Amino acid sequence: MAINNVSGLIGMSAPEFRLPATDGNTYTFADVKGEKGTVIAFICNHCPYVKAVAGRMAQDARALMAEGIGFAAICSNDATSHPADSFDNMKRFAEEHDFGFPYMQDETQDIAKAYDAACTPEFYGFDSGGKLVYHGRLDEGRTGPIPDDARRELVEAMRAVGEGRAVPFEQSSAMGCGIKWKQAS
């Protein structure tokens, strides 16, 4: 099947970053990169879409990491206008949802712009060479319970990538809350 490249980003190289994380460390893309691929998720703490998927995301991240796929999340929201997305609240959110991956703060919002991120949650899946092969949502869930027969889109896509296959289905755009951009000064 052909990839639905709605965003036009498929094939781009992973933008580099160096960001502080809630665990006290600073990470680069190379630090979070997995042997078979890497997922970068743009999330935040206050979005009802993120809150609804946080547990599934943490579970899926653990499964993918066990299979050689790196995983990290970035919060790029303006914490001044949205204090729920402050670094201290990011720490609480990561702990509450048992994140087994780095949750980093993009205070300048430069990384969100480099990735062309628009909303939370939004997922970017890269192959082992750092080329974007998946861009979209975790699954078809919104803010309520996920249907029992829902496809685990991110997991299926990244497992295919980890096995050296193409993403086996058309990709669906991410849906959630818009990134809270800083006011231009």
Q: Evaluate whether residue 5 is within a structural domain.
A: no
Provide the percentage of residues in the chain whose pLDDT is more than 90: 83
CATH number of residue 83's parent domain: 3.40.30.10
Show the tokens assigned to 115.
């990735």
Total residues belonging to the chain = 185
pLDDT beyond 60 at 38: yes
Is the peptide bond prior to 121 cis by the omega test (within 30 degrees of 0)?
Answer: yes
H or E stretch covering 74: strand 69-75
Report the pLDDT value the prediction gives residue 185, as an integer from 0 to 100. Answer: 63
Range of the domain at 166: 20-141+150-178
Residue 2: pLDDT band with limits 50, 70, 90: very low
The predicted-structure confidence for 114-124, as pLDDT tens digits, reads as follows: 999 999 999 99
Looking at every residue in the chain, the average pLDDT score rounds to 93
The predicted-structure confidence for 49-67, as pLDDT tens digits, reads as follows: 999 999 999 999 999 999 9
Contact call for residues 18 and 28 (beta carbons, < 8 A)? yes
Label each residue of 101-147 as H, E or C: CCEEECCCCHHHHHHCCCEECEEEEEECCCEEEEEECCCCCCCCCCC
Domains in the chain, number: 1
Residue 4: pLDDT band with limits 50, 70, 90: low
pLDDT beyond 90 at 141: no
Predicted TM-score of the model (pTM): 0.94
Q: Evaluate whether residue 162 is within a structural domain.
A: yes
